[in-house]
Amino acid sequence: MALIKNPCPHCESSLIIRSSEQESPIVKRIYLQCKNLACGFTGQGFLSIESEISPPSIPNIKINLPRVVIRKKILCDYARPDKKSYAHH
């Protein structure tokens, strides 16, 4: 069970990933539930890998993701998980 930082679209409490199915190597279908018992919202969506920031050391030849350059601030925040700003994407 994982908490994602995105809020419930209805009450803005945290959403919990209750279940998931791997649809492809880069797409996972996720089933979400609002943590707020008084709300009770559930939904589904996708967690997908859309681009590559740095190349892998052991690449899968079936995976061909576009390379993307991201802003330095995001990389710095990623290196310090205590910072919250990267988690809102």
Taking contact as CB under 5 A, which single stretch among the options 32-40, 58-66, 67-75, 79-87 is the one that binds Zn ion?
32-40
Which strand ranges, in their side-by-side order, compose the sheet holding 42-48?
2-7, 14-24, 27-34, 42-48
Query: With CB under 5 A, what is the number of residues at the site for Zn ion?
Result: 8
SS3 of residue 36 by DSSP? coil
If the CB atoms of residues 1 and 69 are measured against Zn ion, the closer one turns out to be: 1
SS3 of residue 64 by DSSP? coil
Q: Does 78 bind Zn ion (CB under 5 A)?
A: no
If the CB atoms of residues 25 and 40 are measured against Zn ion, the closer one turns out to be: 40
